[in-house]
Amino acid sequence: MRRQISTAIVIVGMAAGLTACGSGDDTASEGVTVNWWTWDERQAAAYEQCIPGFEEENPGITVDISQYGVEDYFTRLTAGFVAGTAPDAFQNSVPLLGEYAGQGQIMPLDDLIEETGYDLSVFDIGVDSWQYTDGQQYGIPLDWAASAIYFNTAMVEDAGLTAEDIRTMTWNPEDGGTFDDIVAHLTIDANGVRGDEPGFDPEDVETYGINSLTANDYNGQVTWNSFVSTLGWRLGGDDAAWPTRIPYDDPELVETLEYVRSLGERGFMPEFGQFTVSGAEQMGSGSVAIVQGGTWDATTITKIPGVEVEVAPTVEGPEGRMMISNSNANNIYAGTPNVDETWAWVSYMGSEACQSTAGAGATFLPSIGASLQATIDAQAEEGLDISSFVQILENGEIYPTPPLAHGQQIADTIQPMFEGYFTGERDEDVFTEMATESEQILTQ
């Protein structure tokens, strides 16, 4: 998500201060139509299931869901801000909270929350991430996401390992812990030699122990973050929200990324950009034995035809298990002429009834604990064990992505630097530059 919002901010700046003249489609002939947008086709289908219940409870209000690909979702959205035709409500990502709230494009929801007695305490995660610098609440959480380990059961067994070995992997930056041992042993070259055996050829690998952890995004959510966070490192440093500097130059991050880069150098994982297909496709082709991916990948990667894939938590490090989590939320367009009706839909989406219904397919993880458990129970009936997802939430093994004052500018600036580091064009000096650039951007 972080990479798909590159062009949106330019248009948003043009829109600041405009008086909106409408929202989406005209109202229905016998009532009001609330228009809701998302970039995720799976969530669009999931929340469609909530519409009958909502419309039954709210006669005269209909809901129209539109889904646009992430490539142009935010461009369409911000063009709507300019024209006054943005949807009444829409799914948003944390990096754009600062831009949209700061320019008055989305509504603070505190008055509506108070007037209707809506209880934010129903959420187990995500509420704080959607509070702007003015202290007001601008988003109602929809979901949360973190990292997970997916492993090919047959490959693990063929290597003489067990599922428990994968689920209890430990890591440290000095020798890599049992994680390093396992990834090396699961790696096999074209001659059938394993990565921890004499004669292994790192230049001619048939199956890598793990997919690439060398992402070029600014927070490493599904790659390196779950490693460095076990050392106590946090993206926002000491600030849980609105940091003025990202500590890219901390020794903990530097030594973690040096270790990650060494995995590619030793032939245990693909080099940066080597594979352009998804983790599921890499797993399906036998190119990798383990994929570290997003929690949202569960129902895709575990249903590869002919391949049994199981789920495990990320590595445990010196300070336990920890990783960053992102939470998407509903925002209401400040120019909507249908405030009450839109709030009715948004608050219904943020109910246990709706999130349990929409979340049953596990295409996303509900932010409401009871609904998350309903999702896990529904998947267990289909033979998929994703109980580790609720365990990391209950054990406090995640921390939220901090909202940033200029989130997209950070992403656009930092991503090429990571790419340069992982391709070998840059070395450790890049991290000091990253930290300095982040401070300059965040203190504008």
Task: Give the domains, in start order, of the chain with CATH numbers.
Answer: 2-143+328-395 (3.40.190.10), 147-325+406-442 (3.40.190.10)
pLDDT tens sequence for the chain (444 residues): 433 444 344 444 434 443 333 334 443 336 899 999 999 999 999 999 999 999 999 999 999 999 999 889 999 998 999 999 999 999 999 989 998 999 999 999 999 999 999 999 999 999 999 999 999 999 999 999 999 999 999 999 999 999 999 999 999 999 999 999 999 999 999 999 999 999 999 999 999 999 999 987 899 999 999 999 999 999 999 988 999 999 999 999 999 999 999 999 999 999 999 999 999 999 999 999 999 999 999 989 999 999 999 999 999 999 999 999 999 999 999 999 999 999 999 999 999 999 999 999 998 999 999 999 999 999 999 888 998 888 888 899 999 999 998 888 998 999 999 999 999 999 999 999 999 999 999 998
Residue in this structure with the two tokens 């600062």, named with its chain if needed: 98
CA distance readout (Å), 302 to 149, 203, 258, 272: 11, 29, 31, 24
Query: Distance between CA atoms of 440 and 207, rounded to whole angstroms?
Result: 42
- Report strand pairing: 365-366 vs 143-144: antiparallel
Q: How far apart are CA 255 and CA 261, in angstroms?
A: 10
Model pTM above 0.85: yes
Distance CA 433, CA 241 (A): 22
What phi and psi values does residue 91 have, to the nearest 5 degrees? -75, 135
Cβ within 8 Å of residue 430, ≥6 positions away: 417, 420, 421
CA gap 281, 124 in Å, rounded: 33
Residue recorded with tokens 């300059």: 440
24, 338, 342, 371 from 109: Cα distances, Å: 20, 14, 11, 23
Contact 401, 235 (CB under 8 A): yes
Which residue, chain included where needed, has tokens 């998947």? 379
Return d(Cα 120, Cα 367) in angstroms, integer.
Answer: 11
State the DSSP H helix or E strand holding residue 98, giving kind and residue range, or none if neither: helix 97-102
Q: What is the dihedral of CA 187, 383, 390, 130, to 10 degrees?
A: 90
Q: Do the Cβ atoms of 310 and 302 come closer than 8 Å?
A: yes
3-state secondary structure of 403: coil
Tokens representing 171? 């890591």
CA distance 86 to 63: 15
Q: Which residues pair with 368 in a beta bridge?
A: 123
